[in-house]
């Protein structure tokens, strides 16, 4: 086992006995929501996974250790420390480990640590992608590269409309990553069910999701699988409302020279303010929805 990897006792026992396990990221705790909603939401997501018959494994870097399965106290620690915790992508891991520092894992690093631990299913909010104007800035999320390399199924509510969704899909196609719509033929756009872009395949049951992932593994195909699960209809925000807020937030980020990994937290915070908090409520509900589907799918995978 990797000397820097620490798997909690509960997660170790679940993996050893063939029980379903679902990975969860920690950037949503430290960078995605304010305290105390971040901690409350993280614990609700874990409970949702338990209620659906699986074991949650919140992933983070604490004191230079790669944690697969955080305690409630560690989640509280990450939530209170907030943005003082490094938002850790692949490039950050060696230095954070060597220095014994903390890191909140993005989609990329959650996939890496989940794969190290032997966890195959990961529930998150939304993935990163190709940013608007990437033709000039080359601002492309490392999430897309990780999906091309690491064998983990990522269940999310699509990609945020702060991104260039068309180019994000093109990039994933080039990398051979299957983009699946769960119960939909259209790529969901995080806060809303609609983007105007199609997915590669529609799948309607957790059993078929598990079967597709098993087939990919059996064929030795590298990389992950992206499952886009639309936010429940009752929480979906009107496209014109969310797009107007995003456009304004992007304009403000450009004016202030905000870019790189500081960009997404800034945009999400501004969108929350511009929508009167509605986007935060939607964010919480879509994560819970993804956790339910991830637990159901992980259960199907363990039955193979």
- Give dist(CA 121, CA 154) in Å, integer: 6
Q: Label each residue of 223-275 as H, E or C.
A: CCEEEECCCCHHHCCCHHHHHHHHHHHHHHHHHHCCCHHHHHHHHHHHHHHHC
Among 87, 120, 160, 261, the active-site one is 160
Does the annotation mark 80 as catalytic?
no
Does the annotation mark 73 as catalytic?
no
Among 6, 25, 76, 146, the active-site one is 25
- Give dist(CA 149, CA 147) in Å, integer: 6
CA distances to 100, 246, 249 from 162, rounded to whole Å, are: 33, 6, 9
Residue 41: how many other CB atoms lie within 10 Å: 22
Selection from 115, 95, 91, 23 nearest residue 60 by Cα = 23
Residue 149: exposure state from Cβ atoms within 10 A (0-12, 13-18, ≥19)? middle
Active-site positions?
A: 25, 160
């Amino acid at each position: 086992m990797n000397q820097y990897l620490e798997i909690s006792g509960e997660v170790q026992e679940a993996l050893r006995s063939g029980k379903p396990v679902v990975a969860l990221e920690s950037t949503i705790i430290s960078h995605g929501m304010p305290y105390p909603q971040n901690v409350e939401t993280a614990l609700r997501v874990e409970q949702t996974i338990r209620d659906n018959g699986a074991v949650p494994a919140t992933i983070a870097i604490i004191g230079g250790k790669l944690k697969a399965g955080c305690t409630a106290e560690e989640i509280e620690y990450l939530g209170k420390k907030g943005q003082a915790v490094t938002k850790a992508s692949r490039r950050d891991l060696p230095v954070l480990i060597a220095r014994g520092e903390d890191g909140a894992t993005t989609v990329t690093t959650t996939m890496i640590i989940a794969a190290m631990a032997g966890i195959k299913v990961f529930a998150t909010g939304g993935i990163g992608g190709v940013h608007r104007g990437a033709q000039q800035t080359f601002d492309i999320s490392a999430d897309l590269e990780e999906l091309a390399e690491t064998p983990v199924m990522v269940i999310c509510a699509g990609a945020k409309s702060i991104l260039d969704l068309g180019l994000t899909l093109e990039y994933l196609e080039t990398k051979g990553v299957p983009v699946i719509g769960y119960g939909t033929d259209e790529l969901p756009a995080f806060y809303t069910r609609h983007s105007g872009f199609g997915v590669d395949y529609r799948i309607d049951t957790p059993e078929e999701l598990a079967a597709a992932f098993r087939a990919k593994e059996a064929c030795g195909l590298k990389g992950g699988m992206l499952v886009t699960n639309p936010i429940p209809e009752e929480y979906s925000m009107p496209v014109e409302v969310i797009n107007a807020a995003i456009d304004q937030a992007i304009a403000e980020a450009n004016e202030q020279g905000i870019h790189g990994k500081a960009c997404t937290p800034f945009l999400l915070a501004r969108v929350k303010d511009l929508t009167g908090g509605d986007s935060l409520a939607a964010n919480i509900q879509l994560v819970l929805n993804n956790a339910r589907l991830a637990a159901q799918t992980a259960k199907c995978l363990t039955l193979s």
